[in-house]
Amino acid sequence: MEGNKPAFYKILMELSSHLRLPRGFTEKHGKMLPKKVELRIRRNTWKVRVKKENLEGEDHYFFKKGWTKFCEDTQLEIFELLVFTYVEKSTLEVTVYAVSGLEKSIFIPPRCIVVLKDYRCYKIHIPKKFAVACGLFDKEEISLEYVGGHTSRVALTVFQGRIAFGAGWSTFLKANRLSYDIALSGSKKILCFEFVPAKNLIKVQPLRN
């Protein structure tokens, strides 16, 4: 992969859980593709698994696990054109062009990581950068939606320039068995908070410890 950086493009013909890489690209560079790559748009990255499959006697490479998340976060649409440039061993820079032919402005939802260490936690402070990005300082309450679980309204409190989840937070923990899980296992719980502007809520999902 010396010289010019390898690149390929794909026109998105469907929204699915995978994307097949062009044969021309994989025939030349497929053996050097790692099992997991990072797709990068500016400073935002997504980890996507690469899988090789043999179809009718020919090897094909696909973006699999993580591709759906990338599509959702970047709000990809049918017939948009994606240009992938191999900038490092495991990183591909992605540029998205809308059907109009103009480069698409990608909005990445604000996210933060919250670590729960005590099942008796009735209030939790939120990283200020995340709170500002979500406009939480201008709100009195917000909905928390646990992936595959329950949604709760939680009050927002401000103290010394910091914002915290107050009334409703313990109800959210109990409704989604987070208090029980921490008390039972005795270990911390790592959660990813993602603001969804269209719904004006924060989606919460667990991450592996």
Looking at residue 106, what DSSP letter applies?
P
In whole angstroms, give the CA distance from residue 62 to residue 78: 18
Tokens coding 96? 């998205």
- Can you give the pLDDT at residue 42? 84
Alpha helices in the chain (DSSP H): 23-29, 67-74, 128-134, 169-175, 178-185
Q: What is the CATH number of domain 111-207?
A: 2.40.330.10
- Can you give the pLDDT at residue 202? 95
Place domain 7-97 in its CATH homologous superfamily: DNA-binding pseudobarrel domain (2.40.330.10)
Domain ranges for the chain: 7-97, 111-207
Q: How many CB atoms lie within 10 A of CB 204?
A: 20
pTM: 0.65
In whole angstroms, give the CA distance from residue 142 to residue 138: 11
- Can you give the pLDDT at residue 1? 40
Q: Per-residue pLDDT for the chain (209 aa), expressed as one digit of tens each?
A: 445 788 999 999 998 999 999 999 998 888 888 999 999 998 888 999 999 998 877 889 999 999 998 998 888 999 999 999 988 878 999 999 999 999 998 888 888 998 887 655 667 888 999 999 999 999 999 999 998 889 999 999 998 888 989 899 988 988 888 876 665 555 677 889 999 888 889 999 888 65
Helix/strand/coil (H, E, C) string of 137-173? HHCCEEEEEECCCCEEEEEEEEECCEEEECCCHHHHH
Closest CA to 19 of 92, 107, 88, 106: 92
Do 7-97 and 111-207 come out as alike in CATH topology? yes
